[in-house]
Amino acid sequence: MKNKTSDWFFALVAQQKNFFLLGVAAVLGLLIVYLVSKEYFYWSALPVLIIFALIVLYSYRSIFFLIPFLAPLSLQLRFFVEVENDLSLPLEPLLIGVLFITLYKFIFEPGSFNRQILKHPVSIAILINLSWLIITSFTSTMPWVSFKFTLSRMWFLASFFLMAAHLFSKKENAFKYFWLYIISFIVIIAYGTSRLNEYGLFNKQAANYSVVPLLPDHTSYGAILAMLIPLIIFFLIKKGYSEWQRIGIFVVFLIYIAGTVFSYTRAAWLSLGVSVVIFILLLLRLKLRTLVIIGAFTGIVLISLWDNIIMHLEKNTQDASDDLLEQLYSITNISTDASNLERINRWNCALRMFDERPVFGFGPGTYMFQYAPYQIYSEKTIISTNFGEVGNAHSEYLGYLSESGILGALTYLIILLTISSTAFRVYHYANDPEVRKLSIAIFLGLFTYFVHGFLNNFLDIDKFSLLFWGYAALLVSLDIFYVGNNSETGSLTTQSNHQ
């Protein structure tokens, strides 16, 4: 009887291992948060090791679904104690473990990787960009900072892109993956809204820090919300859900819209608005080449009229407001809005840094430590710092220019171009209507960050990086397994297709 009971128990655990692991991870995750809040930092590493051991013991692939669940709940160590090397707990130790497993498999089990994914244009573009980051880490003005930055990019890519691209060969895996993230992120929305409510829901100043320490500020919070809304809309119109499931998805959609409204993030609304325009152009079946030409022509016109535009913008004195239209209009206020003026200060610093080191830049991740001497007194604002010890370039593109030179910026732009090209190819050539709709949702979600990238840079934030590289991985998998020839499959992919 004892043996039968034991066999029954282990069989039950084996059948429900994903659910079991998520439950244990949730408990251990809360334990980590408690230990960190009490400043028991060394003890907080123990639950992380237990989580990783359970994952490896039961199934290496189970970590795939654990990561998006834990990502929104992870906390930066620097919010609790002064540390030289920051770490996101409990997520980043898991990502480091995945990186080592990935390297082991790549060296000793190369057949476990799908060659089509490794040879895909997006993968090649990412590899070229990563290679340049490694090179500029050696030439960096602060090598230790740069190597830490590059290593974190490597473990982000190992989990969020390479592993994801393999397992997204079955799109249902992608649905589970992003639903786990969407549901877990509701915790941040609830936390941020409840904290904001303490000062008044219409207090936009309090919104700046309402999500701390789960996220650095309201801008990164709004950027994530904007990236997820197109995907939630896809789930809302997707076939196969029951009436009650659709009602649940609609409630989630309303929660995310409310979160966006009370984030008071102007760039989030701007990016969503631009994505609506792109969606309309996609419905007209315009090709990527046409959109690039339109974008280039628009850029030339803006450059030619730049002086007149600046003169007009300097007349705008509309500050950020509770009113949505006034909030959006305040984006162009470069005369009195401290946030906008400080952003321009950071941009000009990045350009001066690029002018001094145009080829190799100052090194990945070094902008925040190096931009202070490049500030000009007349450009500094009430929120500028004399030592420039906080913040980044407030632009993904200018950040690359200042930190990794012209090739860093170009290789990043190539990543964006290859991602866009892949999205258009899937949209135009996939036979499955659901895949085409999914490709639109993912591309629009990514496009919100293409817009955000002019105003902010968030790819060093794990919660955000998961979405960006995860979306890219999904487009790659859709291109290979639902559009292209998938005859060359590695064992990881083959197995995942049968699970």
Instruction: Pick the range with the lowest mean pLDDT from 19-33, 116-130, 149-163, 300-314.
Output: 300-314
Q: Tell me the torsion sign for CA atoms 390, 396, 402, 408.
A: positive
Rounded Cα gap, residues 405 and 364, in angstroms: 10
Residues 251-277: pLDDT tens digits?
999 999 999 999 888 888 889 998 998
Per cent of the chain over pLDDT 70 is: 74
Q: Is the pLDDT of residue 102 over 50?
A: yes
The answer to whether the peptide bond before residue 90 is cis (omega within 30 degrees of 0) is yes
This prediction's pTM = 0.83
Answer whether 476's CB lies under 8 Å from 120's CB. yes
Q: Is the pLDDT of residue 171 over 50?
A: yes
CA of 286: how far to CAs of 40, 377, 417, in Å?
56, 47, 16
Query: Is the pLDDT higher at 372 or at 438?
Result: 438
Residues whose CB is less than 8 angstroms from the CB of residue 180 and which lie 6 or more positions away in sequence, other chains included: 65, 68, 69
Answer whether 359's CB lies under 8 Å from 406's CB. yes
Rounded Cα gap, residues 250 and 233, in angstroms: 9
pLDDT score, position 41: 56
Residue in the structure block whose two tokens are 């692991």: 21
Rounded Cα gap, residues 199 and 203, in angstroms: 7
Angle between the N-to-C axes of helices 462-482 and 121-138, in degrees from 0 to 180, rounded to the nearest 10: 140
pLDDT score, position 316: 44
Residues 14-44: pLDDT tens digits?
445 556 656 666 676 677 666 656 656 556 6
Residues 239-248: pLDDT tens digits?
989 999 999 9
Instruction: Pick the range with the lowest mean pLDDT from 83-87, 207-211, 297-301.
Output: 83-87
For the residues 323-352, what does the mean pLDDT come to?
Answer: 68
The secondary structure element, H or E, covering residue 387 is none
Query: Is the pLDDT higher at 74 or at 479?
Result: 479
Closest CA to 89 of 101, 68, 69, 73: 73
Q: Is the pLDDT of residue 214 over 70?
A: yes
Average pLDDT value for the chain: 81
Query: Is the pLDDT higher at 22 or at 212?
Result: 212
Residue in the structure block whose two tokens are 């792109």: 278
Tokens of 157: 């890519």
The secondary structure element, H or E, covering residue 9 is helix 2-15
Answer whether 271's CB lies under 8 Å from 451's CB. yes
Burial class (CB in 10 A: 0-12, 13-18, 19+), 75: buried
Whole-number CA gyration radius for the chain: 23
Tokens of 489: 């499959």
Strands (E), 159-261: none
pLDDT score, position 493: 36
Q: Tell me the torsion sign for CA atoms 288, 292, 297, 298.
A: positive
Answer whether 149's CB lies under 8 Å from 472's CB. no
